Every structure is written in C-alpha cells, then in structure tokens.
C-alpha cells in the first residue's frame, strides 16, 4: 500500500535534486588529504611579509605540495606534482623563506615556484641533467631584484655529473651554472652570507668517501676554492652524513664514526673537523641520531643533536664560535623514556628548541638550559611521533608553542602548548579497499524475521509474541528517555535525526600500509578506530568482506585478518598460502545469511579459483591473464563451463556485473500512450570491455554469466587506450565511456558516454519469447532453443572530460530514479547524472510528441553538459578518487555515497529528492502549538455552541 502511494509521488517530483549550500558539511564530509608529510620539507612560514599568521607548508610522500591552516588543520591549497612530472623520484623537496612570497618545490627534473598565499604557479622550470638532488633558497638578494622573491640554488645529478644552478626568483631563468664532471657523487648545496657551497662525495682510493666542499661565487658561479675532508674511514655513502646545514650563519656538516662513539662536526668552508665524544649515558644502543639547527643567516650558531634509543631519547646542545669555528657543548636535555621529537625555530637571532615527549612539551632557549615553558601532554597515542616542526612565540617572559608532529602512520597533528588541536588523517590517502560495516543487531532482527517467515502460522505468532516480550525489558529505559527525546527533537533545527534510518553507517577501510580504519559516515566521517594490522608498506589488500559485527580483510598472499567492526580488535589472522591471488571474489553477500555462508574465493592470475565452489549460488566469471573471460559453475572448480575469447588482438580489460543489491521496482516502462515496454531483466548480465591497443579498437560485449552467450556487442574505433575506459551496469541498462571516434561523423573525436537499454521486445505490450514465465533457464528452455536476445536501444553523448570510474546509486527498493555516478579526474569532482537524462529513447532531431513529453522525454542533444546541480561533490575539490561505493539506507529516497582512493569523500544522494523526509523548514513546535490552540478553541467554543443550540431549540418550540 505504502509502495503504491510512494510510486506516483516519486514520479511527480522533479527528479533532479541538487545539493543546497546549507547542506554542505551537513550531509557530506570530505577529508582533503596530502599524504604523509616529508620531514625535511615541512615548515611554518608567513605567506607574505604583510601577514602575521603563519601557514604550515609541506610536500608529501605522494608529491603533493600543500598549505594547511595551523589553526584548524584545513587545507588552504594543494598542487599535485606527480600529475605533471613524468617520473617523480622520491617525494620531492619544498623550500620557503620568511619574507619570500613564494615556496619553491622540486620533483623529478622540474622546479616550480608557487605563490605561498594561494598556491598559484609563478614559474616552472625543467632542468636537463637529471633529477633535482637538492634545492635551497638564497636569503640574501641583490638590490636590483624585487624584495619578496629570492633566487633558488638547485643541484641536479645524473651519470656522475653534478650541476649547480642559480635560478632567478621571479622568472625561474638560469642565471649561471656550475658543472662538476669529476665523477664525484653530487650531494647537497649550502650557503653562507658570502659563498655558495657545493658538497660532493669523492670516492677514496680504497673505500669510503671524502667530503669535498667547493665554494662558488654567488654572483658569477665561478669556483673560488675547494676543501677536501678526510672522512673516508667514516663515510660509506650519503646516508652516513647526518646533517648538512643550509642558509645558516655557520653552515655545518655533521657525521659520526662507524661505531657511533664520536660526533664529527665541520663548519663548511673550513678544513677543521671537531670530534665530540658521544656520551652514551643511557647505556642503550643508539638507534637514530638527528641534528637540528636553525635555518637563518642572522641566528645564533647553535645546534642540537638528538639521540634516540629503543626505549627513550636524550639531546645535547652545542655552540659554535663563529670566528674560530670551535664547537663546544652547552648543556643537555635529559634522557626520557618513550617517544621524543625535537623541533627548532628562531625569533630574530634567538634559537628555541621544542621537545615533545609522551608526557609533556618543553621549550628551551639554545643559550641556556632553563625551561621557558612546560605543558603536560593531553593524549598518549600508540602512534609514535617521528618528526616535528615548531612555531614558538614569546610575549615578555611567557612563551607559547605550537608544534606539528608527523606520526609513524603518516598522520599529522598540531599540538598547541601540550594540547592536541587537530589531527589530519593523512594515512587514509593510501586506502585501497572499503566495505560498509554490517551491524550485529540489525542482522539479529533480520534473522528473527526470517525464522518467523519460515514457521507455521501459529509457530510464527508464538515466536513473535516471545520476541516482543523480550523487547519489553527495554521499555522502562525507552520511557525514561521519551521526554528528553521529545524536547530535543522539537528544539533542534534538524527536524529529524535520521541516524536510526541507516544514514549513519560505518565503513571499514584498509590501506596498503597495513592499517585498517572505521569511519562513521553519519558524523562527518570521523575515525571511530584505527589499527595497524600489519607492519608493512606494501599490504596487498584484495577485498574486504563485512559480516555482522566483523570485517575480514583478504590479501593477495592468501592470508586474511578479521577485525571486530565496532572496536577494531583483531579477532583472527589466517596465515598466507603458497598461491598468489589475483583477485578475491566475494559470494553470497546478502543479508540474512550467517557469517559462514558469506564466503570469499581467491582467484589465481590465470583465472582459476583456488577453493571449491560449493557455496556458489549464482555464477562466477573471472578474467585470465591472457585476456580471456572464464565462466564457472558450482560443480567444478578445475575447468570452466565456458570461456569467452574476444576477437584477435583484443584483450579483456574489465568485466562488470549488476550490483548484488539491484532491486527492480517495475518490470516495464509505461509509455505516454499507456502501453508498456517490458524490460529485459536478466540477473546474470556481465558487461565485458576488451581493447585492441594496436588498432585502437574497443569492444563492449554483453554476456549471460551462466551460459557465456553473447547477448549484444559493439565495437568502437579510434579509441585511445591510454585514456580511461569505464563501464557500469544496473537493472536493464548499461553505460560505458571512452575517448574515441563519434559514431556518425568518424572525423570527430571526443570523450563519449554511451547508454544502452535492454527490452524484451521492440514491440510495446509484447513480452517476447519468454512471455510471463515465472522462471527461465540460461542454458535451455522447454522449446529447446537458447536464451532470447534483448532488444537494445543505444544512444551516445559527447562529454567534455574523461570519466575514470562509474557506479550506480542504490536505494532500498529501486523505486527512486537511479543516478549514474561518474568520477571526473580532470576537474576533481563526482557527478550523479540522472538516468532520465541518459534515456536513449530521447527523440533525435525533432521535438518530443505530447505522448513522449508526458513520458518525460526531451529532445536529444549530442553534447551532454554536466549540470551544476548534478555535482555531488558541490564545489569541493575531491582529488584522486579511484572507487565510488553506494549503499541503500532504510529511507527509499536516500542512497549513501562513499568515495576513496586519494581523498575521502562521503555524501547522501537523493536522486528523486528526499520525498520521505520532512524538510528543514518544517517546524514541529509550530505544529504542536497549532494543535494545542485548536484544541483550546474547541474546548472553549463547544459549551457556547451547545448552549446556543439548546437556546435555539427552546426558541423554535
Ligand atoms: C600584525 O600584528 C601587528 C601587531 O601585533 C598589528 O598591528 C597588525 O595589524 C597585524 N597585521 C595583520 C595583517 O594582521
Ligand atoms: C652504549 O652503551 C651500551 C652499554 O655500555 C653498549 O652496549 C652500546 O653499544 C653503546 N652504544 C653506542 C652507540 O656506543
Ligand atoms: C565486538 O566488540 C564488542 C564490544 O566489545 C562486543 O560487544 C562484540 O560482541 C564484539 N563482536 C565480535 C564479533 O566479536
Ligand atoms: C520453473 O519452471 C519449470 C518448468 O516450467 C517448473 O517445473 C518449475 O517448478 C519452475 N520453478 C519455479 C521455482 O517456479
């Protein structure tokens, strides 16, 4: 009954529902991510000389340059260098200087300058001669240059040749270059107020390297002198050198001997090497030594050496005498248990060190060991800190500090005076798989209902009465909460809290760094829990399968990890098998089945399943490494029942099937004249994409997954195989997109979006050969002939940009119009194209007749422009999305959307508008007051009316 009411309603409403700006951040959430910040390219910087507030700049291990607001952790701008540089080697380098309005980045062989304020590109320069090995900005500049742009010194190195270049800060032009062809290993560049130093490693006669420092004239780039340090007994490669200071009053090179007993310090440009004994007071093996020194020409020549052991850390502070280059120890920071990181920064000439440990944050001046500020840490996390940058401010005698801490997972948090202000979950950028969590109690109810459905009438009745009696124990609790719930629901501006309608579901994510997360999509995608399931940087996650109360992550080596989906506790781990898996197929994934019935089958590279297919109820189709498609049946896991070999030269690249939850609300399409076109609804449809890379042909084949029979095929020419080719299939239609020739005028090339609909017959009111049979067989039917072919209606549209991934919105009963979800990688957006816009029956070259107009068809236009209202991502910049998932809720109007792969984005889609939810403008209070007023009025007027009636009776008699 309710269904029948909803159906016409859904049809009447305008099917295009935009996201209103007041819904942004309310129904959707977005984690705009950078990736783990690179420690030596992360800093606080004032974006221009006129601003007081600093921003936090970094380049991440994904080669994304970004600026973050230190106040709330929001992203101000970002630029993906990996997208432009053809071969980024390593994360890249980012440099900035106070007073400079630009930050300069290097990735691969290209150097770019970005406006620090808004991230606009100022210049980009490609350097021949290999990848950029080091980059520094010159603090001093010529009087002739603009005051807020500094020249850059770049070092490139390849095949034994190092080249030092000075690049103009305004234009990026090379002012001079110095080439070193001696065969030394180019290492770093550094500068002092008067000289530029090029530091290289010269192979010594026997083994090890000698450090060679070449001093260059900053104006001409000519070599003025060079110094060779006898370090060959200590230095075995670049990693032996702990520190090369740049841009400081007394730039330093620091290394140690092999046994970590002495620290060697050289003031760059001098021949003298100071040996300092390492005071191994803790009596533990030293794991890591880091050197922290200020990066400003006018700062005091002080530096700090931080020693880390397995269980704790300490630090020592040294002063350098500028005239004599003598290094003396000033004081030390005591050994403390647990994690510890140190950051340095300076205010004018004064240098401050900030130490963040498990228990506290401490600020000291480099001049003396007196503690200027000390704050208790508010959280202890199991995710150890690796590196920090700090920003100290002083006001009279008091100091305040905020430090941005990079953690082992890659997450980034800001600690202000010991208090964690924000955490950016940068590790989520590595998400490779996701699945919606299945709640335990929901499943319980479904299970109970299933029992009731299967029992006899009396048995089911008794079962239900028992269930309700059991539920009665929650009644007092519910009653107690009732007044509070009524009051809050009236006063809060959100009319109804929809969480109980399944719009707040959890999603389980796994990253390729061995981490597993649960996000709450109902509360802005906050992280419910996060665990490090495996210590690895290359976790080969194939699939996540959610069961009631738990989730299982399946890996390519055949192992799996099962976690409790509400706590993240690891419940079980299964060991790896010796078969390498290509993919994992999940079967029987539907509600109401127990965990044991929800299975996963590993598929080898050649397309054969690893396990027997006893659980298989539908069909299984796999792709093999030689470009074929194999179909499997339950009885046999050794030999496929059918295989599909595309035409010679073509390779199967992708196969998609209808989603496991794909309800069909109506089996036919009612036309304007009340006749019906019956939909071809085969649950076993598989859409296969095969590509011939040599001849630029793409073939799209519609198969029956049980028999392997080709139901329909198309071949498109002029296809660019390097551009994304995607497809999606649902209900009785499928869509695909590629870059290639348009169908009619083959001269025109462009991004195409093709939609095809399948009908049982081209004739209205005709059900085709199957008629109204309740069931059919893919293999044979009673008349002995094979499966009837669908009648296919197609239409193609030209679109302005590529689509890299497609999905279809899912709702509970499929009554709501579906949207085709498309990821647009070039504009970093996700659009949901309403299905009726893509109707292939739209009239071509003529206006629709009145019957067609009644059906909702409008004139076909070959170019499909994405309407602003279709953008589910609104104006957000949702970058790097690889996969979009859709999940029905208990509300028929609403579908949950979750996108991952780079950024994390989630929203709710209401393709036919939220017809089953009261709007925000609906006031419950007003309704109640109206009812109360009416009741009051009736109570007041009723006696009067009665009296009047009695009076009238008296009068009339
Ligand atoms: C910077 O701070 C100074 C002094 O605190 C203040 O006078 C000035 O207006 C501030 N400038 C900006 C751009 O906020
Ligand atoms: C520190 O001292 C301990 C115990 O004396 C010793 O085992 C360890 O090797 C020393 N570490 C270094 C780096 O000298
Ligand atoms: C998950 O943890 C919760 C809370 O500790 C517990 O109630 C639940 O039974 C656990 N679920 C599973 C499947 O272990
Ligand atoms: C399917 O059709 C066959 C033959 O028409 C019939 O015997 C069988 O009972 C049907 N099965 C179902 C589940 O309707």
Q: Work out the pLDDT band at 414, boundaries 50, 70, 90.
A: very high
Determine contact, residues 808/821, Cβ cutoff 8 Å.
yes
Q: Work out the pLDDT band at 324, boundaries 50, 70, 90.
A: confident
Determine contact, residues 240/216, Cβ cutoff 8 Å.
no
What is residue 428's three-state secondary structure? helix
Spatial neighbors of 187 by CB under 8 A, at least 6 apart, are 133, 134, 199, 200, 201, 238, 241, 244
Compute the radius of gyration of the chain from its Cα atoms.
34
Sheet containing 252-256, strands listed edge to edge, beginning at the edge strand earlier in sequence: 241-244, 252-256, 262-267, 273-277
Q: Work out the pLDDT band at 745, boundaries 50, 70, 90.
A: low
E-only strand ranges, 118-160: 121-126, 131-137, 152-158
| Mean pLDDT value of segment 141-163 | 80
What is residue 429's three-state secondary structure? helix
DSSP 798-862: EESS---EEEE---SSS-SPPEEEEEETTTTEEEEEEGGGG-TTSPSSSPPPHHHHHHT-----S
**Lowest-pLDDT range of 174-183, 367-376, 407-416, 777-786:** 777-786
Give me the pLDDT at residue 300, please.
Answer: 87
Q: Work out the pLDDT band at 3, boundaries 50, 70, 90.
A: very low
Q: Work out the pLDDT band at 18, boundaries 50, 70, 90.
A: low
| Mean pLDDT value of segment 798-825 | 92
Give the Å distance between the CA of 352 and the centre of ligand 2. Answer: 30
pLDDT in tens, 221-241: 898 888 998 888 888 888 888
pTM: 0.86
| Mean pLDDT value of segment 540-567 | 89
Q: What percent of the chain has pLDDT over 70?
A: 90
Determine contact, residues 676/763, Cβ cutoff 8 Å.
no
For the ranges 337-341, 377-381, 803-807, 814-818, the one whose mean pLDDT is highest:
803-807
Quote the CA–CA distance of 846 and 850 in Å, as a whole number. 12
What is residue 884's three-state secondary structure? strand
Q: Work out the pLDDT band at 588, boundaries 50, 70, 90.
A: low
**pLDDT exceeds 60 at position 11:** no
Instruction: Kindly report the protein residue whose alpha carbon is nearest to atom 1 of ligand 4.
Output: 775
pLDDT in tens, 751-776: 999 999 999 888 888 887 777 666 77
Determine contact, residues 340/355, Cβ cutoff 8 Å.
yes
Of 813, 829, 758, nearest to 788 by C-alpha is 758
Determine contact, residues 291/304, Cβ cutoff 8 Å.
yes
**931: DSSP letter:** H
Quote the CA–CA distance of 604 and 598 in Å, as a whole number. 20
Instruction: Kindly report the protein residue whose alpha carbon is nearest to atom 10 of ligand 4.
Output: 775
Q: Work out the pLDDT band at 383, boundaries 50, 70, 90.
A: confident
Ligand 1 close to Cβ of residue 51 (< 6 A): yes
Quote the CA–CA distance of 164 and 177 in Å, as a whole number. 5
Give me the pLDDT at residue 955, please.
Answer: 85
Q: Work out the pLDDT band at 528, boundaries 50, 70, 90.
A: very high
Quote the CA–CA distance of 226 and 213 in Å, as a whole number. 6
Directed axis angle between helix 924-956 and helix 475-491, to 10°? 90
Q: From the CA of 51, give the closest atom in ligand 1.
A: 13
Q: From the CA of 53, give the closest atom in ligand 1.
A: 14
| 259 against 518, higher pLDDT | 518
Q: Work out the pLDDT band at 395, boundaries 50, 70, 90.
A: confident
Of 817, 807, 749, 762, nearest to 789 by C-alpha is 762
Taking phi over 0 as left and psi of -120 to 50 as alpha, with beta for the rest, 888 belongs to beta
Give the Å distance between the CA of 380 and the centre of ligand 2. Answer: 29
Ligand nearest to the CA of 774: 4
Phi, psi of 413 (to 5 degrees): -130, 155
Spatial neighbors of 635 by CB under 8 A, at least 6 apart, are 613
| Mean pLDDT value of segment 836-840 | 92
| Mean pLDDT value of segment 667-692 | 89
Distance of CA 889 to the CA centre of its chain: 23
pLDDT in tens, 246-295: 777 778 899 988 888 889 999 888 888 889 888 877 777 888 899 998 88
**pLDDT exceeds 80 at position 870:** yes
Give me the pLDDT at residue 497, please.
Answer: 65
Q: From the CA of 50, give the closest atom in ligand 1.
A: 13
Directed axis angle between helix 457-471 and helix 440-454, to 10°? 150
Token pair belonging to 535:
């210590």
Quote the CA–CA distance of 14 and 913 in Å, as a whole number. 8
Determine contact, residues 255/241, Cβ cutoff 8 Å.
yes
Which residue reads 């076909």 in tokens?
860
Give me the pLDDT at residue 557, please.
Answer: 87
Q: From the CA of 280, give the closest atom in ligand 2.
A: 1
Ligand nearest to the CA of 780: 4
**pLDDT exceeds 80 at position 491:** no
Give me the pLDDT at residue 496, please.
Answer: 52
Token pair belonging to 494:
């959100």
Give the Å distance between the CA of 114 and the centre of ligand 1. Answer: 24
Instruction: Kindly report the protein residue whose alpha carbon is nearest to atom 13 of ligand 4.
Output: 775
Quote the CA–CA distance of 91 and 135 in Å, as a whole number. 13
**pLDDT exceeds 80 at position 956:** no
**pLDDT exceeds 50 at position 16:** no
Give me the pLDDT at residue 81, please.
Answer: 85
Distance of CA 370 to the CA centre of its chain: 44
**pLDDT exceeds 70 at position 13:** no
Q: From the CA of 52, give the closest atom in ligand 1.
A: 1
Kindly report the average pLDDT of the chain as a whole number: 85
Q: What percent of the chain has pLDDT over 90?
A: 32
Quote the CA–CA distance of 294 and 391 in Å, as a whole number. 12
Give me the pLDDT at residue 724, please.
Answer: 92
**pLDDT exceeds 70 at position 502:** yes
C-alpha distances (whole Å) from 675 to each of 4, 300, 764, 788, 847 are 19, 88, 6, 22, 21
Give the Å distance between the CA of 3 and the centre of ligand 1. Answer: 63
Spatial neighbors of 68 by CB under 8 A, at least 6 apart, are 34, 55, 56, 57, 58, 74, 75, 76, 412, 424
Beta bridge partners of 518: 508, 529
Ligand 1 close to Cβ of residue 747 (< 6 A): no
Quote the CA–CA distance of 885 and 544 in Å, as a whole number. 13
Give me the pLDDT at residue 37, please.
Answer: 92
Give the Å distance between the CA of 658 and the centre of ligand 2. Answer: 63
Taking phi over 0 as left and psi of -120 to 50 as alpha, with beta for the rest, 653 belongs to alpha
Q: Work out the pLDDT band at 6, boundaries 50, 70, 90.
A: very low
Q: How many CB atoms lie within 10 A of CB 88?
A: 19
The count of residues in the chain is 957
Spatial neighbors of 932 by CB under 8 A, at least 6 apart, are none
**Lowest-pLDDT range of 46-55, 138-147, 589-598, 760-769:** 589-598
Instruction: Kindly report the protein residue whose alpha carbon is nearest to atom 1 of ligand 1.
Output: 52
């Amino acid at each position: 009954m309710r269904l029948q009411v909803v159906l016409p309603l859904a049809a009447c409403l305008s099917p295009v529902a935009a996201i209103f700006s007041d819904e942004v951040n309310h129904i959707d959430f977005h984690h705009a991510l950078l990736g783990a910040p690179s420690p030596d390219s992360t800093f606080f910087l004032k974006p221009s000389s006129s601003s007081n507030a600093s921003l936090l700049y970094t380049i991440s291990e994904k080669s994304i340059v970004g600026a973050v607001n230190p106040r709330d952790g929001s992203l101000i701008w970002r630029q993906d260098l990996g997208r432009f540089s053809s071969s980024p080697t390593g994360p890249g380098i980012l440099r900035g200087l106070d007073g400079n309005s630009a930050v300069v980045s290097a990735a691969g062989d290209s150097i770019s300058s970005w406006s620090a304020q808004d991230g606009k590109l100022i210049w980009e320069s490609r350097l021949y001669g290999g990848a950029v090995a080091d980059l520094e900005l010159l603090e001093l500049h010529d009087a002739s240059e603009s005051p807020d742009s500094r020249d850059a010194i770049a070092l490139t190195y390849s095949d034994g040749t190092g080249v030092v270049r000075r690049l103009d800060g305004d234009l990026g032009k090379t002012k001079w270059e110095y080439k070193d062809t001696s065969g030394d290993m180019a290492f770093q560049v550094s500068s002092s107020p008067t000289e530029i130093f090029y530091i290289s490693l010269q192979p010594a006669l026997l083994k090890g390297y000698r450090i060679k420092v070449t001093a260059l004239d900053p104006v001409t780039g000519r070599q003025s002198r060079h110094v060779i340090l006898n370090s060959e007994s200590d230095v075995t490669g670049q990693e032996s050198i702990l520190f090369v200071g740049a841009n400081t009053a007394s730039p330093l090179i620091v290394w140690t001997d092999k046994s970590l007993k002495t620290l060697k310090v050289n003031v760059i440009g001098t021949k003298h090497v100071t040996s300092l004994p390492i005071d191994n007071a803790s009596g533990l093996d030293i794991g890591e030594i880091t050197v922290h020194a200020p990066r400003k020409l006018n700062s005091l020549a002080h530096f700090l050496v931080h020693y880390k052991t397995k269980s704790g850390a300490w630090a020592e502070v040294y002063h350098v005498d500028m005239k004599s280059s003598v290094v003396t120890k000033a004081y030390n920071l005591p050994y403390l248990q647990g994690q510890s990181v140190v950051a340095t920064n300076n205010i004018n000439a004064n240098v401050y060190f900030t130490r963040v440990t498990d228990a506290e944050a401490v600020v000291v001046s480099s001049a003396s060991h007196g503690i200027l500020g000390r704050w208790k840490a508010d959280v202890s996390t199991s995710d150890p800190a690796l590196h920090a940058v700090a920003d100290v401010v002083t006001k009279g005698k008091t100091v305040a500090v905020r430090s941005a801490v990079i953690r082992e997972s890659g997450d980034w948090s800001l600690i202000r005076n010991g208090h964690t202000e924000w955490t950016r979950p940068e590790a989520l950028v590595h998400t490779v798989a996701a699945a919606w969590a299945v709640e335990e109690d929901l499943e319980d109810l479904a299970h109970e209902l299933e029992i009731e459905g299967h029992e006899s009438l009396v048995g089911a009745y008794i079962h239900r009465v028992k269930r309700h009696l059991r539920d009665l124990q929650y009644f007092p609790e519910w009653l107690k909460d009732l007044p509070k719930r009524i009051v809050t629901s009236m006063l809060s501006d959100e009319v109804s809290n929809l969480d109980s309608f399944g719009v707040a579901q959890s999603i389980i994510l796994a990253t390729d760094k061995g981490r597993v997360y649960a996000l709450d999509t109902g509360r802005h995608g906050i992280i419910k829990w996060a665990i490090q399931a495996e210590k690895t940087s290359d976790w080969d996650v194939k699939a996540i399968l959610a069961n009631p109360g738990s989730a299982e992550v399946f890996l390519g080596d055949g192992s799996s990890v099962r976690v409790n989906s509400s706590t993240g506790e690891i419940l079980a781990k299964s060991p790896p098998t010796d078969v390498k898996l290509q993919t994992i197929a999940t079967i029987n994934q539907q509600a109401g089945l127990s965990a044991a019935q929800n299975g996963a089958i590993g598929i080898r590279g050649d397309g054969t399943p690893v396990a027997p297919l006893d659980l298989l109820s539908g069909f299984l189709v796999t792709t093999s490494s030689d470009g074929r498609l194999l179909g499997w049946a339950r009885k046999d896991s050794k030999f496929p029942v059918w295989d599909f070999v595309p035409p010679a030269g073509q390779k199967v690249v992708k196969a998609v099937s209808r989603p496991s939850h794909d309800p069909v609300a109506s089996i036919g399409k009612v036309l304007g004249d009340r006749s019906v076109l019956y939909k071809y609804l085969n649950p076993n449809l598989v859409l296969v994409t095969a590509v011939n890379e040599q001849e630029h042909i793409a073939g799209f084949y519609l198969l029956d997954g049980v028999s392997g029979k080709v139901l329909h095929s198309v071949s498109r020419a002029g296809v660019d195989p390097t551009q994304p080719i995607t497809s999606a299939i649902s209900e009785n239609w499928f869509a695909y997109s590629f870059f290639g020739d348009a169908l009619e005028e083959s001269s025109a090339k462009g991004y195409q979006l093709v939609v095809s609909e399948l009908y049982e017959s081209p004739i209205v009111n005709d059900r085709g050969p199957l008629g109204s049979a309740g069931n059919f067989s893919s293999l044979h039917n009673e008349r002995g002939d094979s499966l009837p072919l669908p009648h296919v209606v197609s239409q193609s549209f030209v679109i302005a940009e590529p689509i890299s991934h497609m999905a279809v919105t899912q709702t509970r009963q499929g009554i709501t119009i579906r949207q085709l979800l498309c990821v647009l990688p070039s504009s970093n957006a996700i659009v949901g194209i309403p299905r009726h816009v893509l109707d292939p029956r739209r009239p071509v070259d003529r206006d629709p007749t009145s019957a067609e107009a009644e059906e909702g068809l409008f004139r076909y236009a070959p170019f499909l422009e994405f309407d602003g209202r279709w953008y589910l991502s609104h104006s957000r910049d949702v970058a790097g999305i690889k996969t979009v998932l859709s999940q029905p809720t208990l509300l028929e109007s609403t579908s949950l959307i979750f996108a991952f792969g780079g950024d994390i984005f989630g929203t709710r889609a209401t393709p036919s508008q939220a017809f089953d939810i009261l709007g925000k403008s609906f006031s419950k209070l007003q309704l109640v007051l109206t009812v109360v007023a009416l009741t009051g009025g009736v109570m007041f007027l009723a006696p009067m009316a009665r009296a009047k009636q009695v009076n009238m009776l008296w009068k009339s008699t």
